[in-house]
């Protein structure tokens, strides 16, 4: 806090500071929007940490609009695939399949390039100017959960931002943290990548 004795001397700077911070936040949010709109395909290695601290690794593949695959490490009998407007969780160990609309998932922000995140997202302040964090949630639908995307400033990355990962919080306050590495953008990705074997009947689903 600025002491009263110095208030007059620094008043112009005190008044300007919030505007500067707001302008920076607005610019960063616009850059995040450009990043999300410009990325059409991406692959990356991921590390996933759940609320109990369990860590799983694998490969993430993204293709817009609406396609995503979390291929977990060998020996992990689960798969997560987004396609056809739905996010599907497959557990091969118990032959169980769960599906829900992508738009009802925090991951929807990554998959729909037409969404205007400035309507439901905000920049989250931090002490490191090299990092941009943006929190997105739909206040009309708290049951959809929320997601905080974390970017590092990188001139060579789309819109000057490199997606480092995210923290997703569902409606039951279950937290999942994803960290990315070896990100590659604009790579060729076949639609066949998002096919999966349905354990309930031994078939293949597109």
Residue 31 lies inside a defined structural domain of this protein: yes
Q: Is the pLDDT of residue 176 over 60?
A: yes
pTM over 0.75: yes
Give the model confidence (pLDDT) of 109-119 as tens digits.
888 877 888 78
| Local structure of 167: helix, strand or coil | strand
Question: In which domain, by residue range, is 155 found?
Answer: 27-183
Q: Is 91 left (phi over 0), alpha (psi -120 to 50) or beta?
A: beta
Domains in the chain: how many in total? 1
CATH number, residue 118: 2.50.20.10
Q: Is the pLDDT of residue 162 over 80?
A: yes
Q: Is the pLDDT of residue 92 over 90?
A: yes
Residue 108 lies inside a defined structural domain of this protein: yes
Residue 18 lies inside a defined structural domain of this protein: no
Alpha-carbon span 205 to 66, nearest angstrom? 16
Confidence of residue 206 (pLDDT cuts 50, 70, 90): low
Return the closest-CA partner of residue 69 out of 56, 77, 79, 78.
79
Residue 128 lies inside a defined structural domain of this protein: yes
Residue 194 lies inside a defined structural domain of this protein: no
Residue 44 lies inside a defined structural domain of this protein: yes
* Number of alpha helices (DSSP H) and beta strands (DSSP E) in the chain: 2, 13
Residue 206 lies inside a defined structural domain of this protein: no
Residue 114: the pLDDT is: 78
Give the model confidence (pLDDT) of 1-42 as tens digits.
333 332 223 323 333 334 355 667 788 999 999 999 999 999
Q: Is 83 exposed, middle or buried (0-12, 13-18, 19+ CB in 10 A)?
A: buried
Return the closest-CA partner of residue 179 out of 73, 44, 76.
44
């Amino acid at each position: 806090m600025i002491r009263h004795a110095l208030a007059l001397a620094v008043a112009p700077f005190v008044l300007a500071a919030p505007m500067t911070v707001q302008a920076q936040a607005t610019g960063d949010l616009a850059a995040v929007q450009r990043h999300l709109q410009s990325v059409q395909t991406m692959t990356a290695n991921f590390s996933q940490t759940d609320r109990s601290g369990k860590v799983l690794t694998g490969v993430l593949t993204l293709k817009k609009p609406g396609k995503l695959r979390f291929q977990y490490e060998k020996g992990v009998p689960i798969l997560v695939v987004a396609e056809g407007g739905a996010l599907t969780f497959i557990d091969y160990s118990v032959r169980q399949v769960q599906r829900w609309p992508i738009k009802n998932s925090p991951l929807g922000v990554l998959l729909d390039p037409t969404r205007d995140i400035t309507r439901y997202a905000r920049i989250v302040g931090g002490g490191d100017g090299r990092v941009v964090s943006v929190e997105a949630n739909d206040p009309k639908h708290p049951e959809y959960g929320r997601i905080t995307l974390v970017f590092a400033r990188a001139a060579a990355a789309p819109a000057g931002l490199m997606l480092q990962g995210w923290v997703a919080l569902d409606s039951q306050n279950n937290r999942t943290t994803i960290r990315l590495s070896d990100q590659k953008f604009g790579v060729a990705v076949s639609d066949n990548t998002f096919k999966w074997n349905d354990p309930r009947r031994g078939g293949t689903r597109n």
